[in-house]
């Protein structure tokens, strides 16, 4: 799996958009970008994933650069419940193991 790098922490004001960057400059052509988040003492929760195109679902939007070397997860209107550690992962389909980096600890501030 490609290595990803993320800032260790970020703050965001409640109600504002939270933009979480991820660098995956060594990603290969068949690897997807996945985003998960982990709230304290819970298992990681799937947020969104994409290959080349930008994606949007009810939770977030994923913007992937044209060269696919980086991406940004956007939480359009952050709430206090979005406070969590967010993990960006690059992985191919199939059953390959997934390894986690340190993630970004997002603190949403009232």
Partner 1 sequence: GAVVSQHPSWVICKSGTSVKIECRSLDFQATTMFWYRQFPKQSLMLMATSNEGSKATYEQGVEKDKFLINHASLTLSTLTVTSAHPEDSSFYICSAREETGYGYTFGSGTRLTVV
Least distance (Å) between residue 92 CB and partner 1 = 11
Give the residue, chosen from 41, 58, 67, 81, that forms a contact with partner 1 under the rule CB under 8 A.
Answer: 41
Cβ-based nearer residue to partner 1, 9 or 17: 9
Work out whether 45 is an interface residue with partner 1 (CB under 8 A). Answer: yes
Cβ-based nearer residue to partner 1, 69 or 105: 105
72 burial level (CB within 10 Å; 0-12, 13-18, 19+): middle
Taking phi first (over 0 means left), then psi (-120 to 50 degrees means alpha), and beta for anything else, what does residue 80 get?
alpha
Give the residue, chosen from 5, 46, 77, 80, that forms a contact with partner 1 under the rule CB under 8 A.
Answer: 46
Work out whether 44 is an interface residue with partner 1 (CB under 8 A). Answer: yes
| Alpha-carbon gap, residue 107 to 94, rounded angstroms | 33
Mind spelling out the 3-state secondary structure of 62-83? EEECCCCCEEEEEECCCCHHHC
- According to CB under 8 A, which residues from 64 to 103 bind partner 1? 87, 91, 95, 97-103
């Amino acid at each position: 799996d490609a290595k990803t790098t993320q800032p260790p922490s970020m703050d965001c004001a409640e109600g504002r958009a939270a933009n979480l960057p991820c660098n995956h400059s060594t990603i290969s052509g068949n690897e997807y970008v996945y985003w998960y988040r982990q709230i304290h003492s819970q298992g990681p929760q799937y947020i969104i994933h994409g290959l080349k195109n930008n994606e949007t679902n009810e939770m977030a939007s994923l913007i992937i650069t044209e060269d696919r070397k980086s991406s940004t997860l956007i939480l359009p209107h952050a709430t206090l419940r979005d406070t969590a550690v967010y993990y960006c992962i690059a992985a191919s389909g199939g059953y390959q193991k997934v390894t986690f980096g340190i993630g970004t600890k997002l603190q949403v501030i009232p």
